[in-house]
Structure 1
Amino acid sequence: MATTTPLSGHVTASDGTKLRYTQEGPPGAPDLVFLPGWAQSATIFRKQVDYFKANFRVTTYDHRGHGESDKPAFGYHIARLAADLETLLSQLDLHEVTLIGHSMGATVVWSHWELYAHDRIARMVVVDMVPVVTSNPGWSEEEKATFVTLVAPGGSHGIANALTGLGGEATVGGMIKNLFTPDVDQADMDWVLSENLKLPLEHAAALFIDHAAADWRPMMSTINVPTLLVLSRGEALDPFPSVQWMASQIPESKLVVFEKGEKGSSHFMFWESPERFNRELGKFLASS
């Protein structure tokens, strides 16, 4: 298929917030919608847009507060972001959509699945996300071994306070650095940080607390569309048991793993190793 001139604009949420989106690819082609993670802008997916736009209509957008979207003083909750996703799907009239969520973006997809009809969704792709972020002191030893979490109880408030304190920008910079491999270009790192800082730090803190509090495990077995789970094992914490558990709960799931030591095996493997990521995503789209 031939590509077309990129389309950009805004959709308007029910509370008046304008959400910036872009579309590339032929009208009528299968729809892909990419959802960035916490504090990321839609431009983080440009290597995927460039790859898939020949044969798919690719939509990316900025969550409220992020990137080029409006930055209201309220609404920094996963459920509100899920409502914003519903706004995007309905106002752009997208159908048979593959939703591709990175990190927190995947939880927006899960929240949307819980709250809204499923008639527009054909597939899900979950990129480097676990079903529960914060550990529970009451877990059994088996649960502790299975659910590898990112935050200790109360830890999200400590991170939020660091974000809103005097060293907030440095806190973001440290978090970003730990999510890439040491091989990433400094220019790329600086660009990602500049995009992150478009989300005001007080809103970043509020959203992080809400994100960290959620437990999505009970709804995993309700996902009845083909689902690709993409995992990096190259990070300090290895969430492989958690993602294996998710794969056991979602009937039509496939797991793709970027192993420790593999080129670009980081939280941003789609940026650092786009060739393999795009190939794996393409195979999933062709087979499901």
Structure 2
Amino acid sequence: MFALSHATRNQLRNRTFATAKLNTPSQPAAAKTVRTDDGADLRVHVYGKESAPTLVLIHGWACSIEYWHPQIREFADDYRVVAYDQRGHGESTLGSTAPSEHTLASDLVAVLDATLQPGEKAVIAGHSMGGLTIQAWAKHYPAQVGERASAVLLANTANADIRWETDLAPVLNKQLTIGKYAVTVGGVPVRMPQPVSESLLFAPLPIPAGWLTEQIMRYRVLTPDATDDEVNFAIGIIRSCRPLARGRHAAAMADMDLSEGTANLNVPTTVIASAGDRLLPQRLSRPLVDTLRRTGNLADFHILPHGHLSNVEDTTAFNSVLRHIAHTATVSRATRRNVAAL
């Protein structure tokens, strides 16, 4: 397997489909590059009118700005939509610092610094690793949460225990079984040796095209209900990610504990999980929900019916939730301005 060229990766992210929601938005993007302290160049796109309320979209592992096509197309007429490539993903570079919860957090700070006006607040939505990014930001920059976020959406994400709780490939991180029977030696559960499983999960190898990749995408990441267009859209996005960035971020996420960040989300926060999510199963959303309920900041909790890529496979429901969040935040801001003017 050979590394994909820049042109090929760009083509994979921008293919045309019969399903309109997956195609490049008709709204023009204002493109900018945000430089981080360690020299990473982050590609940032801004859609919509400068005067509109801002919605920040943060993609997940091995994805890019293009992953958000179904949401950019839906919201850019009414909102100022900001989306960026996380470091090493899409057109962003890796920088000199190894990926970690610190880089996730500080990169978001850099993007918000570059795209929000002083005193401006945005609805900030993160999917999967994007949800981890928001919680890492809240953990390491807690004062910024109330200053820059009017509301938060955490979709198909977690705050800890990813290494052992993901169900993407149970043979790599769960007790080995033969049929329905657990394998034990002297009563001790048998697992694949951790160095072996990690070398497979974190290896910086290109993802090949073909039948096997399609089956994994349909049956392990999405669900059998996914359309061919949705499967091929997701494969194109993920295959376009540089293997080194994909491997390093997988290794970084495996042992993150962002529980403190969850507790620091002191703005209305909505959680989305999916009943068929195997990558970050629904049970991983429970600690988020429990913490947010305890702190009084849980705005809502939705369980959508399909797989990990809820914004792709359950687009209508996902967009409805996000629109409600954005509308509520906008009305709340307008009410505060009117009261302040009295």
Partners of 2:113 and 2:214 lie apart in 1 by 36
- CA offset at residue 69 of structure 1? 1.4
SS in structure 2 at match of 1:214? coil
Which residue in the other structure is 1:229 paired with?
271
TM-score by length of 2: 0.70
Matches within 5 A, 1:58-73: 58-72=81-95
Is 1:98 equivalent to 2:126 in the alignment? no
Among 17, 22, 25, the residue aligned to 2:45 = 22
Residue by residue, what CA displacement relative to the aligned partner does 1:88-132 show, whole Å, maximum 9, x if unpaired? 111223420111000111111111112223122221110011221
Which residue in the other structure is 1:258 paired with?
303
Is 1:150 equivalent to 2:175 in the alignment? no
Matches within 5 A, 1:59-208: 59-72=82-95, 74-94=97-117, 95-116=120-141, 117-118=143-144, 119-134=147-162, 149-150=165-166, 152=173, 158-163=196-201, 169=207, 176-177=217-218, 178-208=220-250
Is 1:215 equivalent to 2:238 in the alignment? no
Partners of 2:264 and 2:238 lie apart in 1 by 32
Which residue in the other structure is 1:45 paired with?
68
Q: Is the 8 A contact 1:233 1:257 kept in 2?
A: no
Amino acid at match of 1:150: T
Partners of 2:53 and 2:249 lie apart in 1 by 31
Q: Is the 8 A contact 1:37 1:103 kept in 2?
A: yes
Partners of 1:215 and 1:175 lie apart in 2 by 28
When the two chains are superposed, the root-mean-square deviation of aligned CA atoms in Å is 2.9
Q: How many residue pairs were aligned? A: 270
Going from structure 1 to structure 2, the CA distance change for 1:68 and 1:166 (only over 3 Å counts) comes to closer
Q: Please, which runs of 5 or more residues in structure 2 have no aligned partner?
A: 1-25, 168-172, 175-191, 330-342
SS in structure 1 at match of 2:89? coil
- CA offset at residue 10 of structure 1? 1.2
TM-score by length of 1: 0.82
Q: Please, which runs of 5 or more residues in structure 1 have no aligned partner?
A: 137-148
Going from structure 1 to structure 2, the CA distance change for 1:210 and 1:219 (only over 3 Å counts) comes to same
Matches within 5 A, 1:8-19: 8-19=31-42
Kindly, what percent of the aligned residue pairs are identical?
21
Partners of 1:256 and 1:156 lie apart in 2 by 34
Going from structure 1 to structure 2, the CA distance change for 1:195 and 1:71 (only over 3 Å counts) comes to farther
Going from structure 1 to structure 2, the CA distance change for 1:156 and 1:133 (only over 3 Å counts) comes to farther
SS in structure 1 at match of 2:207? helix
Among 279, 282, 286, the residue aligned to 2:323 = 282
SS in structure 2 at match of 1:10? strand
Partners of 1:285 and 1:53 lie apart in 2 by 12
Partners of 1:120 and 1:78 lie apart in 2 by 19
SS in structure 2 at match of 1:11? strand
Partners of 1:256 and 1:36 lie apart in 2 by 20
Going from structure 1 to structure 2, the CA distance change for 1:168 and 1:26 (only over 3 Å counts) comes to closer
Tell me which structure has the larger Cα radius of gyration: 2
SS in structure 2 at match of 1:218? helix
Partners of 1:111 and 1:84 lie apart in 2 by 10
SS in structure 2 at match of 1:86? helix
Is 1:268 equivalent to 2:313 in the alignment? no
